[in-house]
Amino acid sequence: MSHTAAAANDSAPQPAVFEAYLHGLQDRLCAAVEAVDGEAKFLRDAWQKPADAKLQGQGITCVLSGGAVFERAGVALSVVNGPSLPPSATKARPELQGLPFKAMGLSLVFHPRNPYVPTTHCNVRLLSVGDAAWWFGGGFDLTPYYGFADDARHWHQTAHDAVGADLYPRFKRQCDEYFYLPHRAEPRGIGGLFYDDFTEGGWDAALALTQKVGDGLWQAYAPILERRRDMAYTERQRQWQLLRRGRYVEFNLVWDRGTHFGLQSGGRTESILMSMPPLARWDYDVTPEPGSAEAALLSDYLITKDWL
């Protein structure tokens, strides 16, 4: 389907509607995180690119640090435009090279303090290229440090319910394929949803789907957080968490297209790298003990699997 195709009688693209939704979603997520943490508050950093910058626009980056529950939580909104798409966005569509673009989106990452609580990431976005094309993208994924089957089933059931039975298998497969570290030959986590270049059904349908994904993140994550946040842990579990966070850093810096897009297009570096964990570690050639919970994460959870 063409990026410019639309359903009969469908509304014309209305980016301002999606932008208003993003502001509301950011406010709701920050309020929910602060209520759960009970200690730390978000720093709200409103920014605007200088007039002589290659990329123009503004955004609000909200970062919570050193909380009782969250070691770091970031919820970043940006609305930017530039003179031409960067290479990371035009590999599959060279006809769009050199065209001006506008991009808006919300990205979040929650890095919990307790190793039994997974890290989660979500992004919802809209990209429009001159008068030639527009498309939505987004999704959410879960990166556990210790595996729990009931958490994985709940996560994927909520993802399934957010997008429906027709789209879930495709978006799950795309998530499994995207959040994969080829140099490690392992997934980053247990997946969830991922889609890009989405225009199916026209503007109204694509917008509604992306809003369901944005709204679904907290519905998927909050019950897992509540179950695991008060579990007792030792220094061994903490060090494993930091080691696995290293994999998170590797993916974001080496493979993530969103990071590449932001840096190549002249985006705001502090907001782009907000997703990094505050602490991580790299040890040489670590192999978990056979039969351990750490080994089970690798063998039973960081695999392609139908959790439903």
Bridge partners of 141, per DSSP, are 121, 192
Tokens 């693209």 correspond to 13
CA distances from 157 to 137, 150, 153, 216, 254 (A): 20, 10, 6, 11, 30
Catalytic residue among 3, 23, 111, 121: 121
User: Strands across the sheet with 191-198, in order?
Assistant: 43-48, 56-65, 70-82, 101-112, 119-129, 133-143, 191-198
DSSP state of 97: T
Two structure tokens written together for 129 = 């290229």
The Cα 192–Cα 46 span in angstroms is 30
H or E stretch covering 169: helix 168-178
CB atoms within 10 A of CB 254: 12
Two structure tokens written together for 208 = 């509604």
The Cα 280–Cα 60 span in angstroms is 26
> Is 121 tagged catalytic?
yes
Show which residues are catalytic: 121
